[in-house]
């Protein structure tokens, strides 16, 4: 089909924002006994060892922990759907301190009804999440060399852009925000003398080693993906070789980003290693990995690492820029969980749902501290990787969604009409929507006898949009796409014919 120029009129765009970590692989040919922890289930089907860690670190009994994890998974899907439904009125979502109440911020009281209908509590705020993300992007460009500052992030619970400064840097934080054009009522300063650092060391121990400069550095393996595993980007430059916990050749770093837009990497392993859908808790147990639904702010989360084992806590903020001695890294998730050197690259789980990989932090597991992780879904999308799960498969891109998915069954519904061939319309409502990292699913019912194409576009840092997935040809059509967090829109293009159409979509 010949492609025609696309004309989209009256599109309102919002600023976008940016969206691992572990199993011990087994050697091919090795007889494996089934782990008792993997076979045994506790309340809600959650691993008993994970529940034990949550009881120790969060004070939750088995039933409370299982209920909180189930609520987190539900909240992740609901908040993504509400972000699409409320559009530019969306101000962010989080679980309250009770771990069960989902709060959703909106800038227009008219959007509150959609929030209530979804079973969440609306909170009226002044700034949309898109506005705060746009302000953070300005700081990303202007603040990487400002002394006394260690990071900044959007705090949806207070509807502020928070700048983290050492006690001597509070004035610099406010001055930076002013220079970047951030409104004073949108900024808060958090004073902390902690200096985040990548959790990386040169000690020889499990579980894997990066061969660098005639020596070896140790990190924790990331979540298994088809063909290898994902881990922290600072755990090895592209082309570096790795050695397993048993001192046998393991693989090669094929992708690595650090510092900059992420702290993520991918290691392709040789045929002696079999990626498995488990996480080692370093107490003789294996924790299952069933999927990668992203948990919201306020959710309980646990991590494992080869230095300290398994510890749990709470997600405090997302999309934080962290200023390490090596340079700034954007798009990290902030938690109150402890970690230490050598834990880098290790996995983060919310129940059996994979969340990300350990990047760095401050403090240790004796006195406590903060730890940041790189969201998993971003590296999966960046390298078109498939997470190995207990269900067998992971994400990817396809123009054919699951057979049972119908347009009218998708939670976000929009209609439109195009009265001249060659024209196009952006949805939702001529604008765009915020989305966390995940899988976008859409279905277009086109008028009979027409050729209406469906495009999914993502906003770039310059404010423009690029097409990341499309479904073309005559008749009805559908698409799925797995991508990072950011601002997206659908574009319906009338290549031939005119008439009314209906569009259904969702993000999971």
In a domain, 280, yes or no: yes
Are both 166 and 216 inside the same structural domain? Answer: no
Query: Tens place of pLDDT for every residue, the chain, 508 residues?
Result: 333 333 333 333 232 222 222 222 222 222 223 333 333 445 667 888 889 999 999 999 988 999 999 999 888 878 877 887 787 889 999 999 999 999 999 999 999 998 998 899 999 999 998 889 888 888 888 766 678 888 999 999 999 999 999 888 888 888 888 888 888 899 999 999 888 877 544 333 347 999 887 788 889 998 999 999 999 999 999 999 999 888 889 999 999 999 998 999 999 998 888 888 999 888 888 889 998 888 999 999 999 999 999 999 999 999 899 999 899 999 999 999 999 999 999 999 999 999 999 999 999 999 999 999 999 988 888 888 889 998 654 433 333 333 344 677 888 888 888 887 777 888 887 778 878 777 889 999 988 888 888 999 888 766 678 888 898 887 888 898 888 878 888 988 888 888 889 999 888 7
Catalytic residue selected from 140, 155, 263, 281: 263
162: tokens are: 């928070």
Query: Rounded to whole angstroms, how far apart are CA atoms 82 and 412?
Result: 9
- Based on the residue annotation, tell me whether 234 is a catalytic residue of this protein: yes
User: What single DSSP character describes residue 397?
Assistant: -
How much is the pLDDT for 80? Answer: 79
Are both 402 and 386 inside the same structural domain? Answer: no
**Partners of 225 in the β-ladder:** 228, 387
Give the CATH number, domain containing residue 179: 3.30.300.50
- Residue 134's SS3 state is helix
Are both 158 and 270 inside the same structural domain? Answer: no
Query: Rounded to whole angstroms, how far apart are CA atoms 293 and 450?
Result: 37
In a domain, 11, yes or no: no
In a domain, 215, yes or no: yes
Are both 102 and 143 inside the same structural domain? Answer: no
Query: Rounded to whole angstroms, how far apart are CA atoms 373 and 19?
Result: 11
- Based on the residue annotation, tell me whether 344 is a catalytic residue of this protein: yes
Catalytic residue selected from 224, 344, 359, 485: 344
| Domain limits for position 173 | 129-191
Give the CATH number, domain containing residue 408: 2.60.120.380
Looking at 125, 144, 161, which one is the last position of a domain?
Answer: 125
pTM of full prediction above 0.75: no
How much is the pLDDT for 199? Answer: 58
CA 378 to mean position of chain CA atoms: 6
- Based on the residue annotation, tell me whether 127 is a catalytic residue of this protein: no
Are both 289 and 218 inside the same structural domain? Answer: yes
How much is the pLDDT for 392? Answer: 52
Looking at 352, 370, 394, which one is the last position of a domain?
Answer: 394
Catalytic residue selected from 133, 234, 485, 506: 234
Q: What is the number of structural domains in the chain?
A: 4
């Amino acid at each position: 089909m010949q492609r025609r120029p696309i004309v989209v009129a009256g599109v309102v765009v919002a600023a976008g924002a940016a969206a691992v970590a572990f199993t011990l692989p087994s050697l091919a040919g090795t007889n494996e006994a089934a782990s008792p922890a993997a076979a045994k289930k506790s309340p809600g089907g959650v691993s008993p060892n994970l529940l034990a860690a949550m009881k120790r670190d969060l004070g939750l009994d088995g039933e409370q922990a299982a209920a909180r994890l189930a609520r987190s998974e539900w909240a992740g899907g609901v908040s993504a759907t509400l972000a699409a439904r409320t559009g530019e009125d969306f101000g962010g979502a989080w679980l309250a301190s009770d771990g069960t109440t989902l709060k959703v911020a909106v800038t227009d009281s008219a959007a509150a009804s959609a929030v209530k209908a979804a079973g969440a509590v609306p909170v009226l705020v002044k700034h949309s999440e898109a506005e705060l993300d746009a302000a953070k992007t300005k700081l990303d460009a202007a603040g990487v060399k400002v002394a006394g500052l260690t990071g900044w992030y959007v705090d949806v619970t207070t509807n502020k852009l928070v700048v983290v400064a050492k006690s001597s840097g509070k004035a610099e934080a406010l001055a930076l925000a002013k220079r970047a054009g951030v409104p004073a009522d949108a900024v808060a300063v958090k004073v902390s003398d902690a200096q985040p650092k990548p959790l990386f060391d040169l000690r020889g121990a499990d579980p894997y080693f990066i061969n660098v400069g005639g020596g070896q550095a140790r990190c924790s393996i990331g979540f298994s993906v088809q063909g290898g595993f994902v881990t922290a980007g600072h755990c090895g430059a592209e082309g570096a070789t790795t050695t397993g916990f048993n001192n046998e050749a393991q693989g090669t770093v094929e992708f690595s980003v650090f510092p900059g837009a992420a702290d993520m990497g991918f290691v392709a392993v040789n045929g002696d290693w079999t990626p498995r859908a488990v996480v080692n808790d370093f107490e003789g147990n294996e924790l299952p990995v069933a999927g990668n639904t992203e948990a919201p702010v306020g959710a309980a989360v646990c991590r494992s690492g080869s230095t300290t084992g398994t510890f749990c806590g709470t997600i405090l903020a997302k999309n934080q820029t962290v200023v390490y001695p090596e340079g700034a890294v954007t798009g990290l998730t902030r938690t109150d969980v402890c970690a230490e050197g050598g834990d880098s690259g290790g996995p983060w789980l919310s129940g059996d749902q994979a969340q990300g990989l350990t990047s760095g932090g401050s403090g240790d597991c004796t006195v406590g501290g903060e730890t940041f992780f790189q969201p998993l879904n971003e590296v999966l999308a960046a390298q078109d990787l498939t997470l190995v799960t207990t269900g067998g498969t992971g994400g990817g891109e396809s123009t054919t969604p699951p057979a049972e998915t119908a347009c009218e069954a998708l939670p976000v519904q929009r209609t439109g009409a195009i009265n001249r061939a060659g024209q196009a319309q952006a949805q939702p409502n001529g604008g765009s929507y915020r989305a966390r990292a995940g899988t976008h699913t859409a279905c277009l019912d086109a008028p009979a006898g027409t050729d209406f194409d469906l495009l999914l576009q993502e906003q770039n840092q310059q404010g423009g949009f690029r097409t990341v997935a499309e479904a073309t040809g005559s008749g009805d059509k559908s698409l799925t796409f797995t991508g990072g967090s950011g601002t997206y829109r659908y574009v319906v293009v009338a290549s031939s014919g005119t008439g009314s159409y209906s569009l259904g979509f969702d993000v999971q």
